[in-house]
Amino acid sequence: MLLPDYEARRNRVLRKFREAGIDSLLVSSVANVRYLTGFTGDSSWLFLAPGCQIILSDTRYETQLQTECPGLTAEIRDAGRTVLDLAIDRIAAAGAKRAAFEAEHLNFATWQALSNRLATGPANLLPASGLVERLREVKDRSELAQIREAVQIAERGIGVVRSSLRPAQTETDIRFLLESAMRDFGGCGTAFEPIVGVGPTAALPHAHAGSRRVSEHPVLLVDWGAVSCHGYRSDLTRVFITGKPTKHIEKVYNTVLMAQQAAIAAIRPGALCSDVDRIARSLIADAGFGRFFGHGLGHGFGLEIHESLRMSPLSQQVFEPGMVITVEPGIYLPEKFGVRIEDDVLVTATGCEVLTSVPREFEQSIVGVLA
């Protein structure tokens, strides 16, 4: 198994300080702390400054930190102190003048308390945005291995679901079966709550599985993902045709598939995310379904299911080798049915690689009339 180089990751963040106009950084995002240290707990911050890399935690995690973060200094508080106390001490000890916090992750009350504590000292508290998240957009070899594992677990899980579909199953029955199957195949959990929708429920992009039964409509949409043993995720969506499909269902399905495949073909280094989104969106609009596709075409993922890379009409981001993104156009017809087809795609040096392999052609999606 490829091991991440956490120290190299932290040093990459430190090299961004001059450009960001800061001399230290308090990392409070759970995912960012994990990315930079390998620590799998919570309630802990990472303090970074030139010559100083310290994780600020508490007694619950003292032994765990020794195991998961060998070589990284840990400062442990007891119940009589707070993480803010440790942060103030570190900022003072480092002689920081321009101490930054993660603007997207520190809540207002914590920011206010930290700001008040620093008001009488020489350090200015400054917001920093996306310093770690931008580094996380490009995956290293160890991350890609974990994402591939998460994809494989998810695909094995959906195989169990497809082979055991029955008319009386509810959306919730399918959700629980899928979650159990992915754990049986080595998943450490689900990447998110699986979306399982029959007919009208499938027209809700983020529906919760309910009591609608498979027999009630020939369209069954499943959006699911697994978590690998090191916390990396996968994200797929497929539509299964469980009864006799209408020509309308087939048209909607093939429109979505055509849009998805055209978008994937356009993904390569240097391509603008909004341009790729436009390719899929225009094909769906030309087919007469434009107003039924309202969300972005895709998003980055990794330690979190939604990371900072985005494909939407507003995105000005450019693809780079090593980025991993979902491609998931959809058409959602209220009170009727919805179709979304989603695959995980890696940007390579010369184009892209589709990491997911669950069949997606219309004929391959037909399970048949279930008995």
Instruction: Using pLDDT thresholds of 50, 70 and 90, give the confidence band for residue 112.
Output: very high
CATH level 2 (architecture), domain 141-365: Alpha-Beta Complex (3.90)
Give the pLDDT score at 371.
64
Q: Is 186 left (phi over 0), alpha (psi -120 to 50) or beta?
A: left
- Give the closest residue to 83 by CA, choosing from 22, 23, 41, 38: 41
Percent of the chain with pLDDT over 70: 99
User: Angle formed by the axes of helices 6-14 and 30-37, to 10°?
Assistant: 120
Mean residue pLDDT across the chain: 96
The residue-averaged pLDDT of 64-88 equals 96
Among the listed residues 254, 231, 261, the one whose alpha carbon sits nearest the alpha carbon of residue 328: 261
Helix axes 171-184, 141-163, angle to 10 degrees: 130
Q: Residue 153: which pLDDT band, with cuts at 50, 70 and 90? A: very high
Among 112-126, 140-154, 274-288, the minimum mean pLDDT is found in: 112-126
Residue 215: Cβ within 10 Å count: 15
DSSP string covering 146-178: HHHHHHHHHHHHHHHHHHT--TT-BHHHHHHHH
Contact status, residue 48 vs residue 25, Cβ threshold 8 Å: yes
- For residue 95, give both structure tokens: 């002689």
Give the span between the Cα atoms of 15 and 28, in whole angstroms. 19
What is the average per-residue pLDDT within 9-35? 97
Read off the pLDDT of residues 164-217 as tens digits, 9 standing for 90 and up: 999 999 999 999 999 999 999 999 999 999 999 999 999 999 999 999 999 999
Distance between CA atoms of residues 41 and 81, nearest Å: 18
Q: Indicate whether 69 pLDDT > 90.
A: yes
DSSP per position, 175-209: HHHHHHHHHHTT-SSBSSPPEEEEGGGGGSTTPPP
Domain spans, the chain: 6-135, 141-365
Neighbours of 281 (CB within 10 A): 22
DSSP string, 252-317: HHHHHHHHHHHHHHT--TT-BHHHHHHHHHHHHHHTT-GGG--S-SEEE-SSSSSEEEEESTT---
**Integer Cα distance of 51 and 190 in angstroms:** 38
Average pLDDT of the residues in 216-222: 97
pTM value is 0.96
Question: What pLDDT, on the 0 to 100 scale, is given for residue 2?
Answer: 78
Please state, in angstroms and rounded to a whole number, the distance separating the CA atoms of residues 57 and 83: 7
Q: According to the model, what pLDDT value does residue 370 have?
A: 65
Q: Tell me whether the CATH fold assigned to 6-135 matches the one assigned to 141-365.
A: no
Instruction: Let me know if domain 6-135 sits in CATH 3.40.350.10.
Output: yes
Q: What is the pLDDT of residue 120?
A: 84
**pLDDT for position 3:** 83
pLDDT in tens, 115-140: 999 988 888 999 999 999 999 999 99
Tokens of 197: 């929708």
The predicted-structure confidence for 311-350, as pLDDT tens digits, reads as follows 999 999 999 999 999 999 999 999 999 999 999 999 999 9
